[in-house]
Amino acid sequence: MYGHDRYLSFDSKLKVALITYSAVALAKLACYFLTEFLVMLAEFFHNIIDITIFLTLLYTHKLAKKPPDLTHPFGHGLAQNVGCVVVSIVFVTVVALELFKEGFERIINPQVGRFPEVAIAVLIASLLIPLILMFVFKREKIAERSAFAELQNDVMSNIGAILGIQLSSIGYHFADGLLTIFIALLICRNGYRIFKENVSYLLGKSPDEMFYRRIREITMLFPEVLDVHDIVAVYVGEDSLHVDMHITVREDMTVREADELTRRIARKLMEEIPEIKYILIHVCAERGRFIRTTANSIMENL
């Protein structure tokens, strides 16, 4: 697996995760009925949520690859970010809150199961699954980072469950509750990080000023261009940008000449900056102001 994981598509990785997690969830449910450790039932439901999360990422990843259409002229790239936001909300509102509730209940009303060695053996075996998958998900894309974060949550959750059962079996019956609450806090942190990263794209994230400077530098290489101004770039996907910009040319340039110039500029920009997938260039006969970022243009109008 390690030698060939780079050849696996993200969809294939998610499918592998779905199959393995389904098997793990069934094993934990069977272990709960055998041992009566409540933490095993909580782990089962946690894995059900994992499966739901992976299914969400799989669907939105496929949707993001759909080509543009009449209702989505810039494509469906942001669907992946929507999926990641959904995942982050699930982290906080479902997984973490359920673990908080479970943790407090165990502290107030400690429960002792049976066959702790069987429960620990199942948890150790299931712990290997997310540890192996963490080497497969390389975190190069936003969706992969979301999947990786959930794998991290599972590692922490399994370790906490193991410690809780071990301490509970030697008399510290409140320990599994405390560890469960600690795990819930870590999951909240991961959920907030994923939410913050992805919601910025949905709100119309723009590149940094270095990107705008690069746009201007490349465009000004064309001798016919006298000025570049009012550049606005917005992400329409994780690696897709829509750029709107204005250039100033001499007043006697014909429409045909201006049209050919914009074609050459657009081709050059898209070659030099592969993130640019859509570009609209307005031709002006008078010099304008060069605005490096969208924020500057908004602030100056207040």
**Final residue belonging to a domain, choices 149, 179, 202:** 202
Please check whether residues 146 and 275 belong to one and the same domain: no
Please check whether residues 179 and 268 belong to one and the same domain: no
pLDDT recorded at residue 289:
54
Helices vs strands, H then E, count in the chain: 10, 3
Q: Regarding predicted confidence, which is higher, 283 or 237? A: 283
* Owning domain of residue 103: 5-202
pLDDT in tens, 137-149: 766 676 777 778 7
Place of tokens 């936001």: 85
Please check whether residues 198 and 213 belong to one and the same domain: no
The span from the CA of 235 to the CA of 294, in Å, is 12
pLDDT in tens, 204-222: 888 888 999 999 999 999 9
Please check whether residues 271 and 296 belong to one and the same domain: yes
The span from the CA of 96 to the CA of 184, in Å, is 5
| Least confident interval from 39-48, 137-146, 246-255 | 137-146
Find the CATH number of the domain harbouring 14: 1.20.1510.10
Mean pLDDT of 160-166: 81
Please check whether residues 99 and 231 belong to one and the same domain: no
**Final residue belonging to a domain, choices 167, 183, 202:** 202
The span from the CA of 68 to the CA of 61, in Å, is 15
Please check whether residues 30 and 115 belong to one and the same domain: yes
Any idea of the CA torsion for 218, 287, 259, 277, to the nearest 10 degrees?
Answer: 40
Mean pLDDT of 19-27: 91
The span from the CA of 220 to the CA of 232, in Å, is 17
Please check whether residues 167 and 222 belong to one and the same domain: no
Please check whether residues 84 and 144 belong to one and the same domain: yes
Please check whether residues 96 and 227 belong to one and the same domain: no
Please check whether residues 98 and 239 belong to one and the same domain: no
pLDDT recorded at residue 4:
43
pLDDT in tens, 64-123: 788 888 888 888 888 878 888 887 887 777 777 877 887 787 788 776 678 888 888 999
The span from the CA of 40 to the CA of 22, in Å, is 15
pLDDT recorded at residue 298:
44
**Final residue belonging to a domain, choices 181, 202, 223:** 202
Please check whether residues 198 and 249 belong to one and the same domain: no
Give 5's DSSP letter.
Answer: G
Please check whether residues 191 and 218 belong to one and the same domain: no
Find the CATH number of the domain harbouring 291: 3.30.70.1350
pTM above 0.85, yes or no: no
SS3 229: strand
Place of tokens 């959750």: 157
The span from the CA of 243 to the CA of 174, in Å, is 57
pLDDT recorded at residue 223:
93
Give 68's DSSP letter.
Answer: P
Count the domains in the chain.
2
